[in-house]
Amino acid sequence: MGHFKKAGSSTKKKVVEFRDFEGEFKLGQTVGVDVFVEGEFVDVSATSKGKGFQGVVKRHGFAGVGQATHGQHNRLRAPGSIGAASYPARVFKGMKMAGRMGGGRVTVQNLRVLKVVPEKNLLVLKGCVPGHKNAYLTIEK
């Protein structure tokens, strides 16, 4: 609350610090999309969509056993062997297994700025951006 009071602005839902920002800005000043130029390339960062607990086929692209006949019963989407036997008697770190997928910080690089609409504070990019609908994006030059 003290930061907003000092800046003379209303409270905001999200506060982010941008370092090495070009230009001189005063405390409480709003930064719009007019800092971008049509045709330039930007990097977009956000938290990706969380997919929950996923198996190895969706998470790592495993193919499973490869065929459904010749005695294969329930191993179509299984990971297969995960390590050796009595030596080293453990599974090595980093082994690709089932687990939680998504929900991490993702940066998509080199998206072209197609249009800048300063009246509506709108930026039109070519390509996909990470995150769910209405997610917060960080756009860097």
To the nearest whole percent, how much of the chain has pLDDT over 70? 100
pLDDT digits (tens, 9 = 90+) for 73-82: 778 888 888 9
CA dihedral of residues 122, 126, 131, 137 (deg, nearest 10): -40
Please tell me the pTM assigned to this model.
Answer: 0.80
Q: What angle do CA 20, 1, 8 make, to 5 degrees?
A: 70
Give CATH 2.40.30.10 domain extents, the chain.
26-49+103-141
Under DSSP, the state recorded for 107 is E
Domain 26-49+103-141: CATH architecture, name and number where available: Beta Barrel (2.40)
State which H helix or E strand residue 5 sits in: helix 2-7
Measured CA to CA, the distance from residue 26 to residue 14 in angstroms comes to: 19
- 52 — phi, psi (to 5°)? 80, -160
